[in-house]
Amino acid sequence: MRKLNRILFVFILLLGFFTQSFSQDGLTPIVMIEHSPVKDQGMTGTCWSFATLSLLESEAIKNGYTDLNISEMYIVRNIYIEKARNYILRQGKCNFAEGAMGHDVIFGIAKYGAMTEEAYSGLKSGKTYHNHSILIVNLKNYLDKILENIPISNNWEAGYIKILDDFLGKPPEKFTYRGIEYTPKEFAEKVLNFNPDNYINITSFTHHPFYQPFILEVPDNFSGGAYYNVPLDEFMEIARNAVLSGYSVLWDADVSNENFKMDLGYAMQWKTFSNNGVDPDADEIMCTQEQRQFLFENLTTQDDHLMQFVGLEKSKSGKLFYYTKNSWGEIGKFKGYLKVSEAYFAMNTIAIILNKNALTYDMKVKLGLK
């Protein structure tokens, strides 16, 4: 098994060199994973839904569903309900905002199912652009009002759901895809072939033991999702091997820093940035495990945004870059895509989620999955 993984790595690497030409910016595509088109999350903090569903769409494409467009807002609506229940039970003493994590989407599909964008867009009254700034305020105000009188009303949830329905629309109980009628749970099972146990959350920090799961301490982890912890070099290897093996990766990272340049199409840890343009082979600051921990604990590195790795490219000097699909519409040099260096990944990544099948046998053993 381990020998086979090494052979696969070499084969894909050589395939990239001999079958792909240099891209316009001088990077050689090594592998590109089929994926759905770039979407726009609008004025919402729902990247977690867009990125996770994009990963699932990539997996569905492998099964022949090339036209699949999963509704992000159906998942968002249901997670807003889960967030409300959490907020009420914690008596308002927890985070309530638009943000969530990739594992919440996995949970949401397991509990509520999924549906197509055509069946439920989350846009009402002719709207074409998502904006939840008013919605989230109204939802929180409603919950805070409920908590003013304890014991609370037994039917508080009905009023909350009415706000969601009025703003996003009420989802249908059944819908049609490719001429077949499905309930959301039937769609998840029969079309997505969805199994929540197929996915694993992974991170790399030193304040918890390696090779064991822990609850990641970031504000949007309202549901207390656990992440397996591995050393930084293995963390980077997991992401790299996954993409080389044809599995896309959900990337949760800090993007509110000067090295994330969506307009230029690159995220790199430049030692010195030149305004004359991006040189993929420019010198970068290489992150250590200790630096990574320090930046997390002093709150420099934060859980800002989720995207999807859909490819891997190589510079002339051999540096690797993740071809990354964003959800901000077709903006920037690469029309909604970004090229992320491994140095940037090491410094700024909070966590990743991927299919367990992308893990090597040795890593599965280390994590107790074998």
What's the pLDDT band for 7 if we cut at 50, 70, 90? very low
Q: What is the pLDDT of residue 370?
A: 84
Q: What is the pLDDT of residue 126?
A: 84
Residue 98 has pLDDT above 50, yes or no: yes
Helix (H) or strand (E) holding 306: strand 305-314
Residue 10 has pLDDT above 80, yes or no: no
Task: Evaluate whether 369 touches 355 at the Cβ level (below 8 Å).
Answer: no
Q: What is the pLDDT of residue 294?
A: 98
Which CATH code, of 2.60.40.1930, 3.30.1320.10, 3.90.70.10, 3.30.2320.50, is assigned to 1-32+195-370? 3.90.70.10
Residues 245-270: pLDDT tens digits? 999 999 999 999 999 999 999 999 99
Helix (H) or strand (E) holding 237: helix 232-244
Residue 81 has pLDDT above 80, yes or no: yes
Give the mean model confidence (pLDDT) for residues 113-131.
Answer: 95
Q: What percent of the chain is predicted at pLDDT more than 70?
A: 94
Helix pair 72-89, 156-168: axis angle to 10 deg: 150
Paired strand residues for 261: 266
Q: Could you name the CATH architecture of 44-193?
A: Alpha-Beta Complex (3.90)
Q: What is the pLDDT of residue 275?
A: 80
What per-residue string of b and e applies to 64-82 under the rule 16 or more CB within 10 Å gives b?
ebeebbbbbbbbbbbbbbb
Give the mean model confidence (pLDDT) for residues 142-148.
Answer: 98
Q: What is the pLDDT of residue 276?
A: 78
Q: What is the pLDDT of residue 24?
A: 58
What's the pLDDT band for 13 if we cut at 50, 70, 90? very low
Same CATH topology for 1-32+195-370 and 44-193: the answer is yes
Residue 1 has pLDDT above 50, yes or no: no
Give the mean model confidence (pLDDT) for residues 156-176.
Answer: 98
Q: What is the pLDDT of residue 2?
A: 33
> In the chain, where are the structural domains located?
1-32+195-370, 44-193
